[in-house]
Amino acid sequence: MPVRPRIRPLHHALLATGAAAALSLGMFTGTAPAAPAAASLPCDLYAAGGTPCVAAHSTTRALYGSYNGPLYQVRRASDNATRDIGVLSRGGYANAAAQDSFCAGTTCVITVIYDQSGRGNRLTQAPPGGFSGPAADGYDNLADATAAPITIGGHKAYGVYVAPGTGYRNNNTNGVAKGDQPEGMYAVLDGTHYNGGCCFDYGNAETNSRDDGNGTMEAIYFGNIKVWGYGSGNGPWIMADLENGLFSGVNQHYNANDPSISHRYLTAVVKGEPNHWAIRGGNAQSGGLSTFYSGTRPNVPGYNPMKKQGAIILGIGGDNSHGCAGTFYEGVMTSGYPSDATEGAVQVGIAAAGYGR
């Protein structure tokens, strides 16, 4: 088990305070916040906090100030040609106009979501698993590339629209936490697009696309299923998919402190380390993160220590359960357990990015 990275509290406090002050000034003057500086992009902040990104996925923007590569790839139906969609400028927003031009007069699907971390942890069409895929070959469907149009920082962009049967996966990753190693993850999602199917996840899963038992996953879940864990109200909830259970806290089923949360743009956070994990969340357009749970592993056998395997999934469960719905815009996974201060600075940067503005 690696040593937990050393945290620099003062540095985190300055990051969070400075970013918050800049955002507050924009709100006070009634002006839209300026485009975020490169140093405020999520993976730069995680690296500064000693918990670098090992996977960074987005179809809307760069997640490093230095990133100038492709965000995702689309394939058009008319001739099966593909095109990488990159950023408008280094560290900038997606070039949605390139997609619109390439897909004009036909339809397109998203075939690849590239990993900006440099580790090659890209997401592609999920293969069949314990639950077979919807296609004849068992593979999951690919997302309609135009089904989730948005604006971000005044620019047009597209999210990954997951309808039931859609899923992405990478079972051969590099640097993602295994066993009981510490990690963190966040995702920006559409808080109004969800269902009670299993399971709209983003995060760490089994490398064989099978259910390998308690504690073999650690992923963000969003939706309103109540078969396993659930929180207050009628949902949806941010929960952790730890395999053989969605957990809203230490108890196996109901945990009152995990609220229903449905911001149009939602920041969802799950992180874990030996016998400790947390759920956090907030409005991706403004404000900070709230902590809905932070404590010991669930009071059910099999989750301490964890047995994570290090695959990455999006829109499905660990065994390729694909009955869910949701929309993904961006997300990362880290090496090491991020501090709340680092996540606070990341959240300020997300709000400054201007989702929906």
Q: How far apart are CA 342 and CA 320, in angstroms?
A: 32
pLDDT tens digits for range 178-225: 999 999 999 999 999 999 999 999 999 999 999 999 999 999 999 999
109: in domain: no
pTM over 0.75: yes
Instruction: Give the range of the structural domain holding residue 163, as residue numbers without chain letter.
Output: 9-60+125-132+143-353
Catalytic residue among 243, 273, 330, 343: 243
Is residue 12 pLDDT above 60, yes or no? no
Among candidate residues 19, 37, 16, 39, the one with its CA nearest the CA of residue 27: 19
pLDDT interval class at 19 (50, 70, 90): very low
Overall number of domains in the chain = 1
pLDDT tens digits for range 240-286: 999 999 999 999 999 999 999 999 999 999 999 999 999 999 999 99
Is residue 14 pLDDT above 50, yes or no? no
**How many H helices and E strands in the chain?**
4, 19
| 3-class secondary-structure state, position 183 | strand
Q: Where are the alpha helices (DSSP H) in the chain?
A: 9-29, 42-48, 96-102, 340-353
> Which CATH number covers residue 276?
2.60.120.200
Q: What is the DSSP letter of 298?
A: P
CA dihedral (28, 31, 35, 40) in degrees, to 10, reads 0
pLDDT interval class at 8 (50, 70, 90): very low
Of the candidate ranges 10-14, 336-340, 349-353, the one whose mean pLDDT is the lowest = 10-14
Is residue 2 pLDDT above 90, yes or no? no
Q: 218 catalytic, yes or no?
A: no
Q: Find out whether 186 and 346 touch, Cβ atoms under 8 Å.
A: yes
**Amino acid identity, position 144:** D
95: in domain: no
Catalytic residue among 212, 258, 319, 330: 319
72: in domain: no
Helix axes 9-29, 340-353, angle to 10 degrees: 30
119: in domain: no
Q: Find out whether 237 and 248 touch, Cβ atoms under 8 Å.
A: yes
231: in domain: yes
259: in domain: yes
pLDDT tens digits for range 285-313: 999 999 999 999 999 999 999 999 999 99
Among candidate residues 294, 293, 190, the one with its CA nearest the CA of residue 236: 190
Q: 243 catalytic, yes or no?
A: yes
pLDDT tens digits for range 134-157: 887 899 999 999 999 999 999 999
Q: What is the DSSP letter of 82?
A: E
117: in domain: no
* Cβ atoms < 10 Å from Cβ of 3: 7
